[in-house]
Every structure is written in structure tokens, then in C-alpha cells.
Homo-oligomer: A and B are copies of this chain.
């Protein structure tokens, strides 16, 4: 297990290019936030698809880290995303991840993505991470 403070420090050190911050994590879930600026927008004032995919990927990674501890070697093996509504240009993008399975080698979860403060989701993703078996075993016994 890892706390919000530990995960935040880990991301800043090992993933300096990560553009999301951790709002909350634990109990098989995580909430991450990405600020929306010009770099995140597409013509017409909508947030680009890759930004939402990044939020989905990061949100599940944070939920995984909170559950298993700081597992740097976890890698995304698959991501499925449905885009539902146009995000709002002037609000942060929020990803709410929920772990569905924490197995010996695969971790699966889904992520609901919102514009901050708006109930209807803008996208929904399913994400799978692979973790090295030895890392998983170590995480479970610590």
C-alpha cells in the first residue's frame, strides 16, 4: 500500500512529465486531476482525446500504486475508451478509477472521466496493467 503523499512524491520523481495530480486514493480507488490549458485543447474548445486517455491511464495507475505499493515496473497492456460528451474547455479533467481485479500478473479497472463539477461523464475507460510476478509477490508481502 502507498499513501497519497508517497504516490505524489513518486510521480514527481520518477514521472516528471506526468501532468496529473492525485486528489485522493485508497480502498481500491483513485481520483486524479489534470489542468486544462491551451496544450490540452482542440479547435472548437474541446479537450483532446489523448488528454482523456492520459487521465484514464494515470488514474488507474494511481489506484494500483495505492493498493500494491510503489510498483514502478507496472505497464499498461490495454486501454479501451468510449468518448461520451464534449468536455468543457475551462474546467479540469477528473478521472475516477476503481479497481476491478488485482491479480498476480494483471490489474484491471475502469475509469470514469468528468469535467470538474459536472455530473455527466465525458468518457469511460477500461484499463489493464501487467505487473511483474515477483514485484506483485513482494508488494503483497510487505
Contact residues of A with B, CB < 8 Å? Answer: 14-15, 17, 39, 42-43, 48-51, 53-54, 57, 75-85, 100-101, 105-106, 108, 110, 112, 121, 124, 126, 128, 130, 133
Q: Given the known A-B contacts A42-B15, A84-B100, are A79 and B130 also in contact in the complex, defined by CB atoms under 8 Å? A: no
Shortest beta-carbon distance from A7 to chain B in Å: 16
The residue from B17, B51, B54, B106 contacting A77, defined by CB atoms under 8 A apart: B106
A128 cross-chain contacts in B, Cβ below 8 A? 77-78, 82
Once the chains are docked, how many angstroms separate the CA of A26 from the CA of B127? 28
Closest to A108 in B: B82
Closest to A38 in B: B17
Query: Do A130 and B105 touch (CB < 8 A)?
Result: yes
Query: Do A80 and B83 touch (CB < 8 A)?
Result: no
Beyond A76-B83, A84-B100, A105-B130, list 14 extra A-B contacts (CB 8 Å).
A14-B43, A49-B53, A50-B53, A75-B83, A77-B83, A77-B106, A78-B82, A79-B80, A84-B101, A100-B121, A100-B124, A105-B105, A106-B130, A133-B133
Shortest beta-carbon distance from A95 to chain B in Å: 13
The residue from B57, B100, B112, B124 contacting A82, defined by CB atoms under 8 A apart: B100
Once the chains are docked, how many angstroms separate the CA of A105 from the CA of B130? 10
